[in-house]
Structure 1
Amino acid sequence: MKIAILILAAGSSNRMGTAKQLLTIGHTTLIGKSIETALQSNANEVFCVLGANAETIRKSINSYKANVIINTNYNNGLSSSIIAGLDHIENLNFDAVLITLADQPRIDVNYLNVLIDSFNQNPSKISASDYQDNSGVPAIFPKTYFKQLKRLEGDKGAKNVLNSNNQNVIKVNCNTLLDIDTQQDYLDFLKSL
């Protein structure tokens, strides 16, 4: 199965007050860590969707073998990044897309590969992260869901597709889910390293 990873990194980081994609994490940045993890996975190709601060962020990730997609509608929320990404990869013969966020630094290559294995065993179903009450990203969507994903609106991302297709979602347990949205989230994460 041919799988594309779509890293969503177009947001303007309003709650952070600075471009969180460029926050330092060890030897790299928040987005750099996401790309490194994605490149080490069993997926076939990695794409980054940028929007706010696109040129600055693009320069910071130039050394990675990741394809950059620019979302000019990033102010319309997370769904606009999913649509921009799918518009770009739709005709590239991928069987599925693994959607992940640039602000989840605890997601590691092992977890991405567990999702990929789950998808390979169940290629007609969505393999998604289990957030106890509902499903979320990282998640792998078979190509049959691309049209539904492209109808998304607003800042809810893929939640509506995930939680309206419960019978077709395989929930994958992940105890490393953490989003960095505020300075405090970032400082807490650094302390935990």
Structure 2
Amino acid sequence: MIRAEDTVLILLAAGRSSRFEGSNKLEAEFLGKPVGLHVVTALEDIPFQDRFVVRDGCSLDFKGYRVIHNDQPGEGMARSVRMGVEAAKGAGAGAKAVLIALADMPRVTAAHIYRLLDAADSDDAVVASSDGTQPRPPALFGRARFDFLMTLEGDAGARDLVQAGKHVVTSPAELIDIDTPDDLEALRALVHAPELTITRPQG
């Protein structure tokens, strides 16, 4: 395993929310708080070596995170990953791994993150989450993979690497990510969120 104390958390919160009808999906309400802050709350007690959030125009206050501003989110997720890994490499304490999580996945739990850490067994570890079918974030990368992560381009650069790594299976509901208003409405319905009755069109 790789300890949380030797791991830097990189939370990706930069994106155009292009499918969210002109608003920022991370600021949409879900169970009484913005979508983007659920993972912050879920992981707040994990003793990571350091925490960075890569963001663009999002107005949320990511307390406890060092902020990295991505002013070109249109270049894809890889730019945010590169910026986060560069920050982790320069953090000064010699991180053994980075844990990359997405702010638009509001159901991720600390228990699942600990399972990812437990499955990491070397400096070149690659451990991704899976719903039993497809690997996806959150994902952990050992420090021997940092230089590769710094070469990523676009949105799918690490796909082959993640596909070949270890996969820790959890409930598909835990790995739901929010890209569209319909995604959010479906999640609200799944958990019987009270705001569903507020946002549903009348008539």
* Structure with larger Rg: 2
Displaced runs of 4+ in structure 1, greater than 6 A? none
Q: Secondary structure at the match of 1:40?
A: coil
Residues 180-191 of structure 1 correspond to what in structure 2 (within 5 A)?
180-191=178-189
Distance (whole Å) between structure 2 residues aligned to residue 61 and residue 159 of structure 1: 30
Q: For each residue in 1:165-193, what CA deviation from the matched residue of structure 2 results, as whole angstroms up to 9, or x when unmatched?
A: x2xx2210111211111101101111222
Distance (whole Å) between structure 2 residues aligned to residue 6 and residue 140 of structure 1: 10
Asked if 1:12 corresponds to 2:16, the answer is yes
Structure 2: runs of 5 or more not aligned: 192-203
Query: What letter matches 1:106 in structure 2?
Result: R
Q: Which moved more, 1:152-161 or 1:136-145?
A: 152-161
- The CA RMSD measured in Å over matched residues stands at 1.8
Residues 34-45 of structure 1 correspond to what in structure 2 (within 5 A)?
34-45=39-50
Q: For each residue in 1:79-118, what CA deviation from the matched residue of structure 2 results, as whole angstroms up to 9, or x when unmatched?
A: 0100111121212221100011111112111111111222
Distance (whole Å) between structure 2 residues aligned to residue 161 and residue 79 of structure 1: 14
Q: For each residue in 1:10-45, what CA deviation from the matched residue of structure 2 results, as whole angstroms up to 9, or x when unmatched?
A: 001001121011111223211111211222224332
Q: Identify which of 170, 173, 188 aligns with 2:169.
A: 173
Deviation at 1:135, TM superposition (A): 2.5
Query: TM (normalized to structure 2)?
Result: 0.82
Asked if 1:108 corresponds to 2:106, the answer is no
Residues 134-145 of structure 1 correspond to what in structure 2 (within 5 A)?
134-145=134-145
Match of 2:201 in 1: none
Alignment size in residue pairs:
182
Distance (whole Å) between structure 1 residues aligned to residue 146 and residue 161 of structure 2: 10
Q: Secondary structure at the match of 2:179?
A: coil
Contact 2:73 2:80 in 1 (8 A): yes
Distance (whole Å) between structure 2 residues aligned to residue 3 and residue 26 of structure 1: 29
Contact 2:132 2:170 in 1 (8 A): no
Distance (whole Å) between structure 1 residues aligned to residue 111 and residue 157 of structure 2: 24
Percent identity (aligned): 25
